[in-house]
């Protein structure tokens, strides 16, 4: 402790963090030894570390800081609600903010998705969607219709069910999973066989779903869960038409379609939700979180169609929907989401994303054409991924990691935070990012890639 101020020193904080704070996805090798950057301040698209160094926030927190940092009116709204009514049990009461937010969300979702079940984040939203599916088929007298079809490289969260349908890093994990999950193979067009057209690849990926349903039996498959863009899996944009065709197959086979919009929702692609506005589908359920509050407070939601709600209501027995959380509809979190929506509307952040995305995506394409160490660039809206050439990373996990970490270090030294994933770096910056800031971000990225090109090519 600092004797003068009686406050912890930076060395104390590092030691306490190492000793007591188990971060997500920590490696057993570095238990008790990891050195996380301690961030202390943020404004707009920038964050500052403890020593005062400034960085552009390339990942936008964790794909979530849509309206940017340092919004005084957000802080004020949160403080006001915390003083007025910080908590109310959702079992016994409702609050103005919860009711108002449910309506605001329902007004922005596609089709008949009008019922909102509030959760604590993305994983619990996914968990809720999957439990709703189980409840639905049980109530409908089809207890065998429970298999969930998911996809390799999909990420859906960290509760037992959400992790069970996560197709990423699946083979490396030491956790157990729920058994009734079937994974479809990678949909990434970049990984299609040499000589195959994207249209043929799309046919093959749609056939993967058809075959799985045929093999498992439609009477056993309860739901298909898919991110519009597989974000954590490396910003994989499925081939055109894929979502519409898979959606139709689910409808034909009476399989509930869950669109996981935890990342793509709330403006990331320039729309409130991507399912219908970008990909032309109306799912049965949508999950969202992250950008819902721009990361100012934790909150998630599972939005359920009128069709499902009506079917449940029409069933003859008086069943109880035993799902919900102490913090479902937390009034302070709901106020943060309402303020977030108000700011996004007022500043036309969706329109802004649509206006600046062409520059963002053009800078990515230029990187793909310029640096021969880069194998693929891809993205949409303010989402992007740069993947290293496969032969350079030798297709081993360690070499993959090394590329991502080296690029991360090269960019961090120049003032840009990245999110390295194996041999990839992904971007999902705050949505308020200006064209000048986009250029600043990619200029740094290019300097980092120039450094790595020299290192790799000798």
Ligand X SMILES: Cc1ncc(COP(=O)(O)O)c(C=O)c1O
Q: Which residues bind ligand X (CB under 6 A)?
A: 121-123, 126, 155-158, 227, 231-232, 260, 262-263, 289
Write down the least CB distance from residue 289 to ligand X, Å.
5
Question: DSSP string spanning 256-318?
Answer: EEEEE-TTTTTTTTSSS-HHHHTT----SEEEE-GGGTTTSS--EEEEEEHHHHHHHHHSSS-
127 or 408: CB nearest ligand X? 127
CA distance 254 to 266: 29
| Residue 115, SS3 per DSSP | strand
47 or 161: CB nearest ligand X? 161
DSSP 228: S
**CA 280-181-251 angle, 5° bins:** 35
Which of 439, 302, 412, 413 has its CA nearest to residue 59? 412
Write down the least CB distance from residue 261 to ligand X, Å.
8
CB 300 within 8 A of CB 262: yes
CB 63 within 8 A of CB 263: yes
CA 20 to chain centre: 27
154 or 375: CB nearest ligand X? 154
Write down the least CB distance from residue 69 to ligand X, Å.
18
295 or 375: CB nearest ligand X? 295
Strand order in the sheet with 419-421: 374-380, 383-388, 424-427, 419-421
157 or 420: CB nearest ligand X? 157
**CA 387-367-169 angle, 5° bins:** 10
Write down the least CB distance from residue 260 to ligand X, Å.
5
Write down the least CB distance from residue 435 to ligand X, Å.
27
| Token representation of residue 437 | 């800031």
Write down the least CB distance from residue 223 to ligand X, Å.
15
Write down the least CB distance from residue 197 to ligand X, Å.
28
CA distance 380 to 206: 21
Write down the least CB distance from residue 172 to ligand X, Å.
17
134 or 264: CB nearest ligand X? 264
226 or 392: CB nearest ligand X? 226
Q: Which residue is nearest to ligand X (CB)?
A: 122
Residue pointed to by tokens 């000589």:
195
123 or 305: CB nearest ligand X? 123
CA distance 152 to 166: 8
Helices 331-346 and 72-84 cross at an angle (nearest 10°) of 150
158 or 453: CB nearest ligand X? 158
CA distance 161 to 132: 12
Write down the least CB distance from residue 264 to ligand X, Å.
8
């Amino acid at each position: 402790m600092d004797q003068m101020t009686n406050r912890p020193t930076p060395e104390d904080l590092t030691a306490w963090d190492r000793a007591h704070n188990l971060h997500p996805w920590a490696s057993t090798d570095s238990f008790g030894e990891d050195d996380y950057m301690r961030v202390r301040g943020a404004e707009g698209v920038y964050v500052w570390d403890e020593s005062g160094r400034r960085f552009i926030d390339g990942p936008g927190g964790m794909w979530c800081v849509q309206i940017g940092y340092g919004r005084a009116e957000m802080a004020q709204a949160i403080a006001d609600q915390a003083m007025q009514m910080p908590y109310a049990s959702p079992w016994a009461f409702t609050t103005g903010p919860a009711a108002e937010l449910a309506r605001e969300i329902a007004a922005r979702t596609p089709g008949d998705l009008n019922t909102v079940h509030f959760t604590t984040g993305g994983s619990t939203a996914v968990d809720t969607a999957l439990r709703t599916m189980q409840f639905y088929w049980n109530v409908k007298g089809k207890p065998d219709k429970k298999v969930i079809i998911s996809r390799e490289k999909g990420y859906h969260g960290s509760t037992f069910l959400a992790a069970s349908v996560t197709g990423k890093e699946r083979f490396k994990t030491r956790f157990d999973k729920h058994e009734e999950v079937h994974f479809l193979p990678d949909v990434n067009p970049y990984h299609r066989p040499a000589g195959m057209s994207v249209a043929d690849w799309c046919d093959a990926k749609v056939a993967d779903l058809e075959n799985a349903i045929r093999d498992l039996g439609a009477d056993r498959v309860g739901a298909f869960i898919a991110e519009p863009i597989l974000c954590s899996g490396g910003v994989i944009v499925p081939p055109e038409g894929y979502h519409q065709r898979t959606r139709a197959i689910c409808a034909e086979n009476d399989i509930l379609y869950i669109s996981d919009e935890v990342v793509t929702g709330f403006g990331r692609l320039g729309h409130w939700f991507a399912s219908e506005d970008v990909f032309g589908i109306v799912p049965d359920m949508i999950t969202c979180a992250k950008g819902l509050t721009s990361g100012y407070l934790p909150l998630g939601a599972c939005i359920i169609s009128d069709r499902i709600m009506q079917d449940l209501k029409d069933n003859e027995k008086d069943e109880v929907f035993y799902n919900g959380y102490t913090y479902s509809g937390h009034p302070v979190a709901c106020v943060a989401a309402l303020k977030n929506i108000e700011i996004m509307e007022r500043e036309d952040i969706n329109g802004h994303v649509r206006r600046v995305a062409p520059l963002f995506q053009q800078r990515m394409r230029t990187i793909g054409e310029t640096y021969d160490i880069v194998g693929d660039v891809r993205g949409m809206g303010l989402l992007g991924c740069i993947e290293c050439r496969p032969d350079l990373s030798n297709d081993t996990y360690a070499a993959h990691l090394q590329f991502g970490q080296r690029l991360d270090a090269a960019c961090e030294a120049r003032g840009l935070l990245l999110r390295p994933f194996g041999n990839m770096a992904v971007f999902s910056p705050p949505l308020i990012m200006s064209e000048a800031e986009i250029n600043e971000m990619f200029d740094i990225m290019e300097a980092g890639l120039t450094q790595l090109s020299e290192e790799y090519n000798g």
